[in-house]
Chain A
Amino acid sequence: MSAYIIRRIGAGIVVLFVASFLTYLLVAESGDPLASLRANPHVTQATIAAARARLGLDHSLLDRYWIWLSHFVRGDFGKSTGGQAVEPELWQRLGVTMKMVIPATLIAAVVAIALGILGAVRQYKVDDNVSTALAYIFYATPVFVLGILLKDFFAIKVNNAAGHTILYTVGDNTPDFTGSTGARLLDDVQHAILPVLTLVLVTYAAWSRYQRASLLDVLNSDYVRFARAKGLSWRRVLLRHALRNALIPITTVIALDFATIIGGAVITEIVFGWEGMGQFLLGGLQGPLTPDVNTVQAWLVITAAIVVLFNLIADILYAVLDPRIRYG
């Protein structure tokens, strides 16, 4: 197993290197960071030339990539085109995304597994049909629609009924908040409820279907029938024999999806005004002085590393849960 892990990490590093090179070329060639300066009739050519030199745009593309790489391997993510250090902002944005994604993943996983079990055990009964219908509705509903509906028809109505703000619709905290640590934590939770709920609803739907199908497959297998034939109770068969095997596929799916959501919850972030990793990437691609290659590269390296890591975790979990799987 150790050798396998080391090989996977090595392969992951190669993947990161190739991805960083290709992304750098594509992003750097996709636009002109000086376009917004050129669009201003009052910015002189001398100023544009100075900005070009400051941003290193007078070097060749390969030179610029090499400069970025040689700094990156020493832990220096460089500066954005606006002159701000990329690294502190990167970790801050990652923290904001994690505040939303981690609880959403945990809650969605629990809900998906529970409803998946329900659906499999009560296959084609009323509760299974209702659960299935809801899953398809949430799976089909775009994130931004769900977010807006929750704001307009849930949060604002709850707040009006309560006579004060319980649920917040924008941002991950109250600006300039003064209060105890407990009060600050409560404020964070109040801001997180809507975006987390949105992510949970769109995520659990697909996972619950996976879980349901997986458990049905296991329940119909020979060893489960044999266990029942031996006289074991249905509950014991389900919890001690079937569930563990049925969790294997969903574990892999959750691990892979988690890595994807970290870099891609951009629509949820936009709807709720959270400045996380998705907005970090968008900011590097849109707006003034873009494309901002250093920002995009930082985003890429972190999200790619997380994807590689969670792929590895998924494979390891697979081996842990299924003793038939062994890596050399």
Chain B
Amino acid sequence: MRSSSPGRRSIRLVPIAAVAAAVLILSACGGGSSNSSGAASGGGTTTSAVKSGGSLTFALDEDIAGFNVLNASQAEFVTAEILDQVWPSVFIVQPSLKPVLDTDIVTSAKLTKKSPQTVVYTINPKAKWSDGTPINADDFIYNWQSQSGSSKFTDLGGKPYEPASTSGYNQIQSVTGSNGGKTVTVVFSKPFGDWKALFSPMIPAHISKKVGFNGGWSTFNAAAKVSGGPYEIKSYAKGSDLVEVPNPTWWGAKPKLSKIIFRFILDDSQQAPAVQNGEVNMVNPALPGLDFYDSVNTIGGFKVSVQPGLEFQHIDFNEANPYLAKVQIRRAIAWGTDRATIAARTGGEISKGLGPLQNRLFMTTQPQFKDVSGVYGKFDPSRAKTTLQQAGMTMGSDGYFHPNFGPQKGKDFTLNISTTTGVPVRSDIEQLFKSEMKTIGVKINIKNYTADKLFGTIGPKGEFDLIEFAWVSTPFASGNQPIYCSYTNASVCGENWDHYADPQVDKLFDQALQSLSPEQATSMYNQIDALLWKDMATLPLFQQPQLYGWSTKYVNIVPNTSSIGIPWNANQWGVKAS
């Protein structure tokens, strides 16, 4: 997912299904079954003793657009954070980026057959929604149908569903219930390796059928109050706050905090004074800069943690440009870009030692990460110049190369770079890139646009040379297919604005998506990235650091860089027991 991020946190959510699915690749559950326990309780982490009661206020820099995180228009990161403790998930992505089965919801999930791929879920007999309706096969069926993308299934009023993603659900053939609805059998029409990503989270079927998947969750009403998790939403004041309190019908370990308040403070710079004044206890801004870091790091009794996130900055090359169509020129630009300096002088200001990113599909925090960049990922300005000469350019007396061909023949070789306005880190990246390109003889003009114009018109219509923005990566590598598969396949590869095409990459993606072996899939994805380096399809820059801050009065807070965010284990948070 693109991070447009002008001022407000407009990091759009990568569908949770995608996130969890990617994590599935890490899951080494041989035979494809999962019966692990203690998932939702932050599986594997040690918890400290807490007092009962108390409240915690978490500052969010964006208000929610609605309460259905599975709907395309409401799929915000902040919505996912709010629903972490409200809507049930079959698998919970841990901070280690491993998925762990939430046995409070599903006691087992087994891959019983590989052809056709069949998964059987056993729902916890105690699992129920807060209005007393059991969580059962109906919920699985509805969640599949609403996110399948199939015109056979429609929302209230016969309107088409508008899901944020159909990934995986569009490969399901059937979902059936048995054993009183507590056993669910899912049969796939085409193998889907990231099957553990599905049904995480789940919308309550019996409610959504009545109010509508698309329109029934836009406002705070009775629907939004129904919970299948440790907390329920008590109140919502648009633009101000949302309050969650313990769900009295929750059958698992009781949460300790009597209230979690999500406070919408849209301007990040106002969060630090609120922390100092004791009005806010936790922060996690979208694009933290040095100013924000300094302002919260000096507050007594407040812990600050900076971790590499799953978002990474990068540059796209538009191969419709006659010069960027040549792989030599793309490689030369990459060799001439000092990504280590760009990283150090932007994200590195708050994350010391931040280096260039050497893989597009896996981040450094993931076990599958491998540096497959080879010679293409190195900074080598003299090689850049030599390569430009070999590509048909001659150094001019003004220090810029002049192409011997094309529309700029005999003139300074010039490229435009575009990004979103109002985002300081992106402006800094552009300025550094421009000066680095000057040293290898390439002239860069900066042409920036508002986010909706860049992503709505400029990008999709290919009206750019170079474009810089962030992708919110996920452990779900298959989610990258629409970005890197051949642009000629418009129905699947709609996000490939770069006119990039490589049939080998296409073939590997198809194979990896259908592989039921995590190790095999990982190997294929790394082969894909090696090809992307060789083709220099895009140039990854660095992983965007994530900043988390919380009052030391609270314990059991563990940052989670996946797109379920830090409230992933809020049911364990509490005031430190003295």
A contact set with B: CB distance below 8 Å: 31-48, 50-51, 54, 81-85, 89, 92-93, 148, 151-152, 155-156, 159, 165, 168-173, 175-176, 270-273, 275, 279, 283, 286-291
With a CB–CB cut-off of 8 A, which chain B residues contact A85? 219
Q: Do B65 and A288 have beta carbons less than 8 Å apart?
A: yes
With a CB–CB cut-off of 8 A, which chain B residues contact A148? 269, 273
Task: Report the minimum CB–CB distance from B67 to chain A (whole Å).
Answer: 11
Number of chain B interface residues as a range: 35 or more
Task: Report the minimum CB–CB distance from B16 to chain A (whole Å).
Answer: 11
- Report Cα–Cα, A270/B264, bound state, in Å: 11
Given A39-B455, A41-B2, A175-B240, list of 6 further CB < 8 A pairs? Answer: A42-B15, A46-B151, A50-B161, A169-B277, A175-B235, A288-B12
Q: Do B160 and A89 have beta carbons less than 8 Å apart?
A: no
With a CB–CB cut-off of 8 A, which chain A residues contact B159? 50, 54
Given A82-B73, A169-B277, A38-B460 contact (CB < 8 Å): yes
With a CB–CB cut-off of 8 A, which chain A residues contact B453? 31-32, 35
With a CB–CB cut-off of 8 A, which chain B residues contact A36? 4, 10, 12, 451-452, 455
Interface residue ranges of B137-179 to A (CB < 8 Å): 149, 151, 159-167
- Report Cα–Cα, A260/B219, bound state, in Å: 30
Q: Do B6 and A286 have beta carbons less than 8 Å apart?
A: yes
Q: Do B263 and A171 have beta carbons less than 8 Å apart?
A: yes
Residue in A closest to B62 when the chains form the complex, CB atoms? A287
- Report Cα–Cα, A283/B62, bound state, in Å: 10
Q: Do A39 and B4 have beta carbons less than 8 Å apart?
A: yes
With a CB–CB cut-off of 8 A, which chain B residues contact A272? 270
Nearest first, the 7 closest Cβ-Cβ pairs linking A and B are A35-B456, A275-B239, A83-B218, A42-B165, A32-B456, A35-B452, A39-B455
Could you name 18 residue pairs across A and B whose Cβ atoms are closer than 8 Å? A36-B10, A38-B460, A42-B14, A42-B164, A42-B482, A43-B164, A50-B160, A82-B218, A159-B277, A165-B279, A169-B270, A170-B270, A170-B274, A171-B241, A175-B240, A273-B264, A275-B264, A279-B266
Q: Do A32 and B76 have beta carbons less than 8 Å apart?
A: no
B46 sits at the interface (CB 8 A): no
Task: Report the minimum CB–CB distance from B167 to chain A (whole Å).
Answer: 6
Which residue in B73, B241, B264 is a CB contact (below 8 Å) of A289?
A: B73
With a CB–CB cut-off of 8 A, which chain A residues contact B74? 82
With a CB–CB cut-off of 8 A, which chain A residues contact B460? 38
Q: Do B149 and A170 have beta carbons less than 8 Å apart?
A: no
Residue in A closest to B2 when the chains form the complex, CB atoms? A39
With a CB–CB cut-off of 8 A, which chain A residues contact B62? 287
Q: Do A175 and B452 have beta carbons less than 8 Å apart?
A: no
Q: Do B160 and A155 have beta carbons less than 8 Å apart?
A: no
With a CB–CB cut-off of 8 A, which chain A residues contact B165? 40, 42-43
- Report Cα–Cα, A171/B75, bound state, in Å: 25
With a CB–CB cut-off of 8 A, which chain B residues contact A44? 149, 163, 166
Q: Do B491 and A176 have beta carbons less than 8 Å apart?
A: no
With a CB–CB cut-off of 8 A, which chain B residues contact A43? 72, 163-165
Q: Do B280 and A170 have beta carbons less than 8 Å apart?
A: yes
Interface residue ranges of B8-38 to A (CB < 8 Å): 8, 10, 12, 14-15, 18
Q: Do B278 and A37 have beta carbons less than 8 Å apart?
A: no
Task: Report the minimum CB–CB distance from A327 to chain B (whole Å).
Answer: 42
With a CB–CB cut-off of 8 A, which chain A residues contact B166? 42, 44
Q: Do B483 and A288 have beta carbons less than 8 Å apart?
A: no
With a CB–CB cut-off of 8 A, which chain B residues contact A84? 66, 218-219, 238
Q: Do A50 and B491 have beta carbons less than 8 Å apart?
A: no
B134 sits at the interface (CB 8 A): no
- Report Cα–Cα, A51/B74, bound state, in Å: 12
- Report Cα–Cα, A39/B479, bound state, in Å: 14
Q: Do B456 and A41 have beta carbons less than 8 Å apart?
A: no
- Report Cα–Cα, A92/B238, bound state, in Å: 9
- Report Cα–Cα, A50/B239, bound state, in Å: 27
Which residue in A46, A93, A176, A273 is a CB contact (below 8 Å) of B259?
A: A176
B7 sits at the interface (CB 8 A): yes
Which residue in B2, B72, B151, B265 is a CB contact (below 8 Å) of A273?
A: B265
- Report Cα–Cα, A85/B63, bound state, in Å: 16
Task: Report the minimum CB–CB distance from A266 to chain B (whole Å).
Answer: 11
Residue in A closest to B458 when the chains form the complex, CB atoms? A35
Residue in A closest to B482 when the chains form the complex, CB atoms? A41
With a CB–CB cut-off of 8 A, which chain B residues contact A46? 149, 151, 160
- Report Cα–Cα, A81/B457, bound state, in Å: 19
- Report Cα–Cα, A283/B7, bound state, in Å: 12
Which residue in B15, B73, B277 is a CB contact (below 8 Å) of A156?
A: B277
Q: Do A176 and B235 have beta carbons less than 8 Å apart?
A: yes
Task: Report the minimum CB–CB distance from B12 to chain A (whole Å).
Answer: 6
Residue in A closest to B244 when the chains form the complex, CB atoms? A176
